[in-house]
Amino acid sequence: MLFHVYGDNAIYQWLVMLAVLAGLILLNEFARRTKVGGLIMFGVIPAVLTVYFIVIAIAARAGAEWAVNNQTHIYMNGWFHYAKLYAALTGCIGFMMIKYEWGIGKKHWFKAFPFAIVAINILIAVASDFESAINGWYSWWLSSEGVWLYGGWHNVFNGIAGILNIFCMTGWWAVYSSKDKKDMIWPDMIWVYIIVYDIWNFAYTYNCLPTHSWFCGVALLLAPTIAALIWNKGGWIMNRANTLCIWCMFAQVFPLFQETFHDGTTFYPWATITTQYADGTVSSIVAGTSANANPTAMTIVSVTALIVNIIALSYIVVKSVKNKKNPYTGEVFTDFKYYKAAKDRAVVK
């Protein structure tokens, strides 16, 4: 088992995870189908939340009790969550500019923006993986957000996998608006990339967000993947950015929804932790020790992420050499059924 999802709270854990999955799919559909939906989700709501975050930070620094005790300030004050939220938001806005051909979204040079922002998002996670390895090499360390993390080779393996994953993105300049204006289409980002990205990103959440991974490593990854494989071919990266931003906004404001505290207690019965906490609790952990640690699953998922990304990148290199094509200025997967279905949805200029 990868998670402690059995016992008295199992029914809550499974039902709420599935509810989060359904909610993310529905909110993504609301955001992608109309300009109004997109502007509400990635314009109005982030603007309001930005003011909220700034007020909390200023008030907490001034010692205001309500801000000091605010759940966002206590449990989501680390650099990673803010970096991830605003990097995802930048992606959502940029993708809408391409989709609706707003401003520089019409320019050819801006077609490389999706690659750039996805690469930045990946590097943020890679830095977090390496940070965990440095701060706790096969020992527990307590993050600024009160989460016990256990570093080791798994972080290194997955950090390398993330770097390789960047170069598994092909066809950087072949990005289009869909004919129905609902999506930004990246035809060469087919199921091959989706799978290796999902495995890598799951390993990242499993290693570095062990008290959140049930939601952000399972539900959050499944939501855009289900859409891209069934009804939204070619639109995976926009779905991914949308659902990531939506979840980050929710989790930043309501972190107690999924939190397991460093003393082992939870606010809600559906809070779920990974099996790196060997006995299913975090109450017996001591900084600088390996007591109650089980890194086996972290190592397995991280090695898996590294292997599949090596395989995918090797395939890309071999096929590019064979076809005498640059995989980044050109495209690699043009003979795949998924690519053809995605390209048919696009307005190619």
How confident is the model at residue 272, as a pLDDT?
96
Burial class (CB in 10 A: 0-12, 13-18, 19+), 69: exposed
DSSP summary character for residue 149: E
Collapse the DSSP code of 260 into the 3-class scheme (helix H, G, I; strand E, B; otherwise coil) and give the result.
strand
Q: How confident is the model over 184-207, as pLDDT tens digits?
A: 999 999 999 999 999 999 999 999
Is residue 4 situated within a structural domain?
A: no
Is residue 190 situated within a structural domain?
A: yes
Helix (H) or strand (E) holding 160: helix 153-166
Task: Provide the mean pLDDT of the chain.
Answer: 96
Is residue 187 situated within a structural domain?
A: yes
Is residue 144 situated within a structural domain?
A: yes
Neighbours of 146 (CB within 10 A): 16
Query: For residues 297 and 271, what is the distance between their CA atoms, to the nearest angstrom?
Result: 19
What average pLDDT does this structure show over 73-99? 93
How confident is the model at residue 264, as a pLDDT?
77
Residue 282 has pLDDT above 90, yes or no: no
Is residue 1 situated within a structural domain?
A: no
Among candidate residues 207, 239, 235, the one with its CA nearest the CA of residue 220? 239
Is residue 3 situated within a structural domain?
A: no
Is residue 28 situated within a structural domain?
A: yes
Q: Which domain holds residue 131?
A: 10-347
Two structure tokens written together for 296 = 């086996």
Q: How confident is the model over 16-60, as pLDDT tens digits?
A: 999 999 999 999 999 999 999 999 999 999 999 999 999 999 999
How confident is the model at residue 236, as a pLDDT?
98
Burial class (CB in 10 A: 0-12, 13-18, 19+), 66: exposed
pLDDT tier at 79 (50, 70, 90 boundaries)? confident
The pair phi, psi for residue 150, each rounded to 5°, is -125, 110
The beta-strand segments (E) located in the chain are 140-142, 148-150, 176-178, 184-185, 346-347
Residue 77 has pLDDT above 90, yes or no: no
Is residue 177 situated within a structural domain?
A: yes
pLDDT tier at 95 (50, 70, 90 boundaries)? very high
Give the 3-state secondary structure percentages of the chain, helix then strand then coil, rounded to 5: 65, 5, 30
Two structure tokens written together for 170 = 């092909």
Domain count, the chain: 1
Q: Which residues pair with residue 149 across a beta bridge?
A: 141
Say if residues 229 and 289 touch (Cβ distance below 8 Å). no
Query: For residues 316 and 310, what is the distance between their CA atoms, to the nearest angstrom?
Result: 10
Two structure tokens written together for 118 = 């996805």
How confident is the model at residue 144, as a pLDDT?
84
How confident is the model at residue 262, as a pLDDT?
74
